[in-house]
Amino acid sequence: MVKFKRTVLACVLLIAPSLAQGPATFHPGFNLFSRQQDIQLGQESAAQVRRQMQVVRDPFLSDYVSRVGRRLANTPEARASGFPFTFEVVADRSINAFALPGGPMFINTGLLKAVDNEAELAGVMGHEMSHVILRHGTNQASKAQAIQLPLMLGSRIAGGSMLGRLGQLGIGLGANSVLLKFSRTAESQADLMGSHLMAESGYNPMAMARFFEKLSSQGGSRGLQFLSDHPNPGNRERAIEEEADKLPRRNYGYETGEFERMKRVVGGIHEPPPRTQAGG
């Protein structure tokens, strides 16, 4: 049996490169939510995040992450999604970022402190943005609650808060939420689409691969938070490298020019003590 599996795997590995020539293309999977419901859910969830986490109101930092984010959001795949992306910094020492359905993205100060260049930050943000574009959160919720969701999403009597309605099905923002903790398939897609968004923005996609490699080799417990929300789909760095090779040749020299200043500003921010459970 083991031998048979190895043989099949060897064949797949031999055939795969000749079948897959161009860059990968992805489309959102099965989903019971409308796009508008993705946006509503994300906005309600973002309001909850702002109540529970410490949003950093520094105008320079907000502007900095928005500049990087808008550059990624201005690429064809991101624009085609039609989602209104927003970018905020939260004072949290774990090396992480997360994006809610429909567009709101939160970037931890721990991540800003951990990146060695702007392309690494763009890599994590491009990866998060890809989860939004591919609607992975509501896709996973749809698969988990395919029986009850149609009634609940179609119901007008409940009205009001979508987060409240979903809460009755056990769907929320807590630890291991289906909205924020992704499958390996979703991870693989977000890695590859993220590499496209980076390349189209002028950032070298290899920086994403290098950052993930760094996290898994020396991230420590703070870095493992990102990897626990975004599990390694397997051969992560190599898959990103191979995808980057399939993209049209470009100059990857883009930078806002504000990276060093960002590092100085974020270096002065002291995060609150770690919470027992992020997101509440």
Binding positions for Zn ion, rule: CB under 5 A: 182, 187, 190, 230
Minimum distance from residue 105 beta carbon to Zn ion (Å):
12
Return the number of the residue (210 or 230) whose C-beta is nearest Zn ion.
Answer: 230
Minimum distance from residue 17 beta carbon to Zn ion (Å):
25
Minimum distance from residue 194 beta carbon to Zn ion (Å):
8
Contacts by 1-10, CB closer than 8 A, 24 or more apart: none
Q: Which residues contact 261 (CB under 8 A, 6 or more apart)?
A: 60, 64
Return the number of the residue (129 or 171) whose C-beta is nearest Zn ion.
Answer: 129
Amino acid letter at 270?
H
Minimum distance from residue 182 beta carbon to Zn ion (Å):
5
Chain-centroid distance of CA 215 in Å reads 15
List the structure tokens of 101. 């359905």
Q: Which of 192, 188, 178, 190 is nearest to 232 (CA)?
A: 188
Minimum distance from residue 108 beta carbon to Zn ion (Å):
14
Return the number of the residue (153 or 173) whose C-beta is nearest Zn ion.
Answer: 173
Residue nearest to Zn ion (CB): 230
Helices and strands counted in the chain (H then E): 14, 3
Return the number of the residue (120 or 187) whose C-beta is nearest Zn ion.
Answer: 187
Q: How many residues does the chain have?
A: 280
Minimum distance from residue 249 beta carbon to Zn ion (Å):
27
- Judge whether 60 and 120 are in contact, CB under 8 Å: no
Q: Which of 221, 204, 240 is nearest to 120 (CA)?
A: 204
Q: Is 65 helix (H, G, I), strand (E, B) or coil?
A: helix
Return the number of the residue (226 or 259) whose C-beta is nearest Zn ion.
Answer: 226
Return the number of the residue (44 or 187) whose C-beta is nearest Zn ion.
Answer: 187
Minimum distance from residue 215 beta carbon to Zn ion (Å):
12
Return the number of the residue (55 or 227) whose C-beta is nearest Zn ion.
Answer: 227
Return the number of the residue (79 or 184) whose C-beta is nearest Zn ion.
Answer: 184
Minimum distance from residue 112 beta carbon to Zn ion (Å):
18
Separation in Å, CA 166 to CA 139, 156, 163, 170: 14, 14, 5, 7
How does DSSP assign 192-245, residue by residue? Answer: HHHHHHHHHHT--THHHHHHHHHHHHH-HHHHHHHHHHS---SSHHHHHHHHHH
